[in-house]
Amino acid sequence: MSENQKPMRPASEEAENQTETAQKYSLNDDRRVKVLSPGAMVAKRFFRNRIAMVGLFVLIAMFIFSFVGGLISPYGEDQLFYRTDVLRKEYASAIENTEFRYTAAEGMEFPSILQAKFVLAAGQKQPSFSHNNETYTVRQEGKDFYSVSKNGVLIGIAFKDVFSVSNPDQKLTFNTLFAGLKAYTGEQTSFTADGIEYTVAKDGLVTVGDQEFGYISRYVVQALMSDVFLTREFKDQAITTMQNKGESMVFTDADGEEHEYLFSYDPDTGKWTIRQETASRVYDTYSAPSAKHWLGTDRNGMDMLTRLMYGGRVSLMIGFIVEIISIVIGIILGGISGYFGGKIDNLIMRIVDVFYCIPSMPIIIILGAAMDAIGVPPKIRMIYLMLILGILGWPGLARLIRGQILSLREQEFMTATEACGISVRRRIFRHLIPNVIPQLIVSCTMGLGSTIITEATLSFLGLGVKFPFASWGNIINDVNNTFVLTNFWFIWIPAGVLLLLTVLAFNILGDGLRDAFDPKMKR
């Protein structure tokens, strides 16, 4: 035997080696080549797409923010917050009376034509004037105080000093007014009217015995509200402030409460406006971001961060429900149309064409205005909005499913289902529709962004989700004036950013799913 020749191994030894090799490379060996399922291949391609993963993480963050954030937020969706503000309300007005005022005697008339003729006669210092062939006598009773008589009968008086009563329950008769003004302008200390004796002080205070009856002054101070009665002390202090050209005064009312009053003068009208500074509990509107409210408050005094959480919940929920409605209608009609073809296909496609011709946005605006007119509750209105958007959004999905089924129904596996005697319903919904699911998922994912934008647009126009429910659209509706737009960024920028990120994430996710299901489209 040569050195290069190897000894023959026994047959039993070769069989043993083959057995060891077979065991080494058996199907149960971990080192065998693994073949991924189609679903796993799609998932692998999707998770390798970094941009798609960013969109997925953004959507997960949006869902956590909207659905979990509202649960852990310490505030409610429609919880109101208040603050105490010092308000300057118009309280009274005052004017120095430089024009004549007129009062007719009891049972007499002193019309404006006679008043105008009196002014001419008084200005020219004439003792009388004529009207309708009748002579009227003008008599000066005191300083800036005149009486007008006809045939010796008093018909009225003209005066610049005003006689006001101190108690609103007291009545000032014409006789008391005439006698009081005559005594005051004539610098008399007392007068008698209707059997009652009155005392007149130099400052115009009129008393009956020890009780105050009224006062006479050239200044007229009137409350702006009919249920407010101004005391003499208030008027005297206000007149003193005006005479001294002061800008404010502090007055203590009958209840012992001090209030500050601000005075402003209008030289064009000669009128003083008196404003009262009062501490009032008002809505904490447009409050800036703080430790209590991280994103401030809106125009209704509600926490903006909490409203954004609940608003995201509503916007996402509307988007998904609308897509579900569209999917159900689109699968049923698209599946039937694509499988049967012929007249049924023509009928359903004509229905789709009709829906494509419907101007969706004008119809939605008209229906929204109609719901406003009949006062549909906000919760029911939201349901109607989802139904309307879903019913108007199915034609595109129906055409997609029909086209896919038309290409699938002629393949071998459908011939096998027909040969096995499987019912038509099972052929469509158990064998055809599942093969359309990848394209359907991509289409719905990208359609969700469009639905959310539509809802936000309608809510911004006031035709979508209504208060007290929040959505990102009606939150942005707060910027319907330039003052809010330019001064309160925290009202609209966060909602706009969330809306932008969510719609962008849905579109990115849809692109990623499309590339994962059909990698050839990426080339």
Domain shared by 272 and 349, yes or no = no
Q: 60: which 2 tokens?
A: 């997960």
Q: 198: which 2 tokens?
A: 């009155």
Domain shared by 61 and 129, yes or no = no
The upper half-sphere exposure of residue 56, i.e. CA atoms within 13 Å in the direction of its Cβ, equals 12
CA pair distance 203, 206, nearest whole angstrom: 9
Beta bridge partners of 88: 277
Give tens-digit pLDDT for 405-429. Answer: 888 877 777 778 777 878 877 877 7
Give a yes or no: residue 22 inside a domain.
no
CA pair distance 460, 370, nearest whole angstrom: 17
The SS3 assignment for 404 reads helix
The residue among 261, 282, 303 that closes a domain is 282
Give a yes or no: residue 38 inside a domain.
no
Q: Which of 211-220, 306-315, 444-453 has the highest mean pLDDT?
A: 306-315
Domain shared by 419 and 491, yes or no = yes
Q: What is the chain's length?
A: 523
Predicted confidence (pLDDT) at residue 523 exceeds the cutoff of 70: no
Residues 419/427, Cβ–Cβ less than 8 Å: no
Q: Is the dihedral of CA 203, 206, 211, 214 positive or negative?
A: negative
Q: What is the Rg, in whole angstroms, of the alpha carbon atoms belonging to the chain?
A: 45
pLDDT for 34 equals 54
CA pair distance 259, 92, nearest whole angstrom: 14
Q: Which of 440, 400, 424, 433 is CA-nearest to residue 340?
A: 424
Give a yes or no: residue 265 inside a domain.
yes
Q: Which of 434, 400, 398, 397 is CA-nearest to residue 414?
A: 434
Domain that holds residue 160: 93-282
DSSP code at position 297: B
Give a yes or no: residue 16 inside a domain.
no
Give a yes or no: residue 379 inside a domain.
yes
Give tens-digit pLDDT for 339-398. Answer: 888 899 999 999 999 998 888 888 888 888 888 888 888 888 888 889 998 998 899 889
pTM: 0.63
Give tens-digit pLDDT for 445-476. Answer: 888 888 888 888 888 877 788 888 888 888 88
- Rounded to the nearest angstrom, the gap between the alpha carbon of residue 79 and the centroid of all alpha carbons in its chain is 15
Considering the chain, what is the average pLDDT of its residues? 84
Report phi then psi at 105, rounded to 5. Answer: -65, 160
Give how far Cα 163 sits from Cα of 96, 166, 176, 339, 372, Å: 14, 10, 9, 97, 54
CA pair distance 147, 522, nearest whole angstrom: 103
Q: Which long-range contacts (CB under 8 A, 24 or more apart) does 5-14 make?
A: none
Q: In 267-329, at which residue ranges do the beta strands (DSSP E only) sit?
A: 271-283
Domain shared by 420 and 498, yes or no = yes
CATH code of residue 487: 1.10.3720.10
Domain shared by 261 and 372, yes or no = no
Domain count, the chain: 2
Domain shared by 357 and 418, yes or no = yes
> Residue 508 belongs to what H/E stretch?
helix 489-517
> Residue 141 belongs to what H/E stretch?
strand 134-142
Predicted confidence (pLDDT) at residue 338 exceeds the cutoff of 70: yes
Q: 66: which 2 tokens?
A: 């909207």
Q: Which amino acid is at 465?
A: V
Mean pLDDT (whole number) for 291-297: 91
Edge-to-edge strand ranges of the sheet holding 271-283 = 219-223, 82-96, 271-283, 258-266, 248-252
CA pair distance 10, 157, nearest whole angstrom: 151
Predicted confidence (pLDDT) at residue 294 exceeds the cutoff of 70: yes
Domain shared by 72 and 143, yes or no = no
Give a yes or no: residue 227 inside a domain.
yes
Domain shared by 435 and 357, yes or no = yes
Give tens-digit pLDDT for 168-188. Answer: 777 889 999 999 999 999 889
The residue among 219, 250, 282 that closes a domain is 282
Residue by residue, DSSP assigns 305-370 as HHHHHHHHHHHHHHHHHHHHHHHHHHHHHHHHHHHH-HHHHHHHHHHHHHHHHS-HHHHHHHHHHH
Domain shared by 123 and 166, yes or no = yes
Domain shared by 322 and 470, yes or no = yes
Q: 81: which 2 tokens?
A: 């917050």
For the chain, counts of helices (H) and of strands (E): 18, 15
Question: What residues contact residue 53 under an 8 Å CB cut-off, 6+ apart?
Answer: 47, 512
The SS3 assignment for 419 reads helix
DSSP code at position 431: I
Cα angle, residue 435 at apex, residues 430 and 438 outer, rounded to 5°: 130
Give a yes or no: residue 34 inside a domain.
no
Predicted confidence (pLDDT) at residue 16 exceeds the cutoff of 60: no
Q: 445: which 2 tokens?
A: 């994912």
Given 3-state DSSP classes, what are the helix, strand and coil percentages for the chain, each rounded to the nearest 5? Answer: 50, 20, 30
Q: Which residue has the tokens 């991280």?
A: 294
End-to-end CA distance of the chain: give it in Å, rounded. Answer: 65
Give a yes or no: residue 18 inside a domain.
no
User: DSSP alpha helices (H): ranges in 204-286?
Assistant: 232-243
Domain shared by 415 and 316, yes or no = yes
The residue among 239, 258, 282 that closes a domain is 282
Domain shared by 278 and 306, yes or no = no
